[in-house]
Amino acid sequence: ESTINDRIQDMLNNLYGAPVLTANPEIAMDNELDNDGVLNPGEGFSVIVTCTNNSFETDAMDGLITLTIDSGGTITSDETIIIGDIDMGETVIGEFSIFLEESVPFGDFNLHLYLTANYINNSGETDIYTKDVQFSINVSLNQAGFPVSTAADLRSSPLVIDIDGDGDIEIIVGD
C-alpha cells in the first residue's frame, strides 16, 4: 500500500509541476473559391489553433506551434507561430493558411501540429513540454448540390456522354 501511495503522490507532483496545454485546431473554409463547404483542388483554407494553459501551478514560456502538411498543399503563412508565454488560465490563438495545389491527392489531407513550450519543473530547472495533434480534412471533386440539390436520396446511375456530338460532354441523371 505504501508503494502505491508513493507512486500516486509522484504522479500528482508531476501533474502539478508540469504544464497542461491544449492545442485545438479548427478548420475555417475562408479561401474556398466556390463557397460550397467542400474542399477541392485549387482552393484554400485556414487552421485556427486555440492554445490554453490548463495547468494547476505552471506557466508555459517561449511557446511555438509548428504545422506540417501532406504533399499537394502549401502553407502560405509562416509554418511556425510564436505564441510566447502562456500564463495559467490564459488562451492564445494562432492561424495558418493553406493552399491546395491542383495535383493534391483526393481523400484525407493530413495535417500535424507540434506544440512546444518551456516551463520550470519541480526541481527549479527549465524543462520542455511537447504536444502532437494530428487531424485531416477531406479533399474531393464533389460540389455541394451537384448534380441536383435535394434533401431526399437520389438513387441513379449518372451517365457522362457527348449525346449530341457537339464536343461538349453532358451529364444525364434519371430519378
The mean pLDDT value for 71-95 works out to 95
> Per-residue pLDDT for 27 more than 90?
yes
> Per-residue pLDDT for 46 more than 90?
yes
- Tell me how far CA of residue 161 lies from CA of 96, 139, 156, 170, 174, in angstroms: 41, 25, 16, 5, 14
Cell 502553407 identifies what position? 75
Q: Find out whether 66 and 25 touch, Cβ atoms under 8 Å.
A: no
Range with top average pLDDT, 31-35, 87-91, 156-160 = 87-91
- How far is it, in rounded angstroms, from Cα 49 to Cα 32? 19
- How far is it, in rounded angstroms, from Cα 99 to Cα 72? 9
What SS3 state is found at 3? Answer: helix
Cell 481523400 identifies what position? 107
State pTM to two decimals: 0.73
| Closest C-alpha to 51, from 28, 83, 99, 5 | 83
Residues 94, 99, 105, 106: what is their CA dihedral angle, to the nearest 10 degrees? Answer: 80
Q: Find out whether 70 and 106 touch, Cβ atoms under 8 Å.
A: no
The pLDDT, as a whole number, for residue 48 is: 97
Total residues belonging to the chain = 175
Cis peptide before 158 (omega within 30 of 0): no
> Per-residue pLDDT for 51 more than 70?
yes
> Per-residue pLDDT for 70 more than 90?
yes
Give DSSP secondary structure letters for 74-139. Answer: EE-S-SEEEEEEE-TT-EEEEEEEEEE-TTPPSEEEEEEEEEEEEEE-TTS-EEEEEEEEEEEEEE
Q: Find out whether 142 and 38 touch, Cβ atoms under 8 Å.
A: yes
